[in-house]
Amino acid sequence: METDLKTLLNKVASGQMSVSEAEIILKKKPFTDIGYAVVDDHRGLRNGVSEVIYGAGKTVPQIEGIINTMMENGQTRILITRLSPEKADNIKAPGFEYHEEGKIGIIGGMKEPDGIGKIAVVTAGTSDIPVAEEAYLTARFLGNDTVKIYDVGVAGLHRLLARLDDLMSARAVIAIAGMEGALASVVGGLVSCPVIAVPTSVGYGASFGGISALLSMINSCANGISVVNIDNGYGAAYQASLINH
């Protein structure tokens, strides 16, 4: 950016660019304001990932409006998370496809894996699968070779140990668990790559909608573990993808 600034100023000094042009460039907003949302046209450049639409709390017309703005700005691949089946049914957009289990909508299809290695998505139980699918689909959309290892909770260690090869060959592991969240610690002790732990709201009684699992994971005695928000499969996959690229 330093270079760009100097180049621009040199152009002004040499008369190649007018003061007005320079002023416009220096002040130009890298986004489009469509009233109810400010669509960030440059995020793909800045952050290495295209714009993602958080579907919860947005109406179908709002989502379509944001999609249109993005496509007009040349975006061809779009991810929509937390999209209920009801909304998905009503969305009209070219190339839109919906994955119900992970509540994910995708425009532009999955991306061929271009990451360095593999991401493993591991769950403790079957009830953690919706969160896992959100993570799995996001990781795939972002161009990662991704493997699922589901229902391998620590109360039956042999199930987890049987999948050790898959686990140990991953470049990043997403460990998803509710209840007591012990899976993250056990996985963390087994692998030598970063583990992104996702607490889920699965459980009852004193699980407090995921807080018990969140605390377990934050307090893990194993190395190399960090934690994202409860049920945040998308966020875990996003970071795992950054690590893998």
- What residues numbered 8-67 form the site for a copy of itself, per CB under 8 A? 9-10, 12-13, 15, 18-19, 22-23, 26-27, 29-31, 36-38, 40, 43, 46-49, 52, 56-58, 62
Q: What share of the chain is helix, strand, coil (3-state, %, to 5)?
A: 45, 20, 35
Q: What is the C-alpha to C-alpha distance for residues 124 and 220, in angstroms, rounded to an integer?
A: 16
Instruction: Please identify, using beta-carbon distances, which residue of 94 and 205 lies nearer to a copy of itself.
Output: 205
Instruction: Please identify, using beta-carbon distances, which residue of 62 and 73 lies nearer to a copy of itself.
Output: 62
Number of residues that bind a copy of itself (CB under 8 A): 103
Tokens for 199, please give them.
Answer: 């607490």
> Closest approach of Cβ 100 to a copy of itself, in Å?
13
Q: What is the C-alpha to C-alpha distance for residues 161 and 166, in angstroms, rounded to an integer?
A: 10
Instruction: Please identify, using beta-carbon distances, which residue of 94 and 221 lies nearer to a copy of itself.
Output: 221
> Closest approach of Cβ 135 to a copy of itself, in Å?
13
Q: Taking Cα atoms as reference points, which of 113, 102, 244, 115 lies closest to residue 172?
A: 244
Report the alpha-carbon angle 132-123-243, nearest 5.
65
> Closest approach of Cβ 82 to a copy of itself, in Å?
8
**Binders of a copy of itself in range 184-243 (CB under 8 A):** 184-186, 188-194, 196, 199, 201-208, 210-232, 235-236, 238-239, 242-243
Q: What is the C-alpha to C-alpha distance for residues 142 and 242, in angstroms, rounded to an integer?
A: 9
| Binding-site string for a copy of itself from residue 94 to residue 113, where x marks contact by CB under 8 A and - marks none | --------------------
- Residue 135 has a CB neighbour count (10 Å cut-off) of 31
> Closest approach of Cβ 196 to a copy of itself, in Å?
6
33 three-state secondary structure: strand
Q: How far is CA 177 from CA 201, 210, 211, in A?
A: 9, 9, 11
> Closest approach of Cβ 5 to a copy of itself, in Å?
6
> Closest approach of Cβ 216 to a copy of itself, in Å?
4
Of 5, 68, 95, 97, the residue at the interface with a copy of itself (CB under 8 A) is 5
Burial of 228 (0-12, 13-18, 19+ CB in 10 A): buried
Half-sphere exposure of 51 (CA within 13 A, CB side): 23
**Binders of a copy of itself in range 117-176 (CB under 8 A):** 124-127, 129, 150-159, 162, 164-165
Instruction: Please identify, using beta-carbon distances, which residue of 95 and 126 lies nearer to a copy of itself.
Output: 126
**Binders of a copy of itself in range 68-87 (CB under 8 A):** none
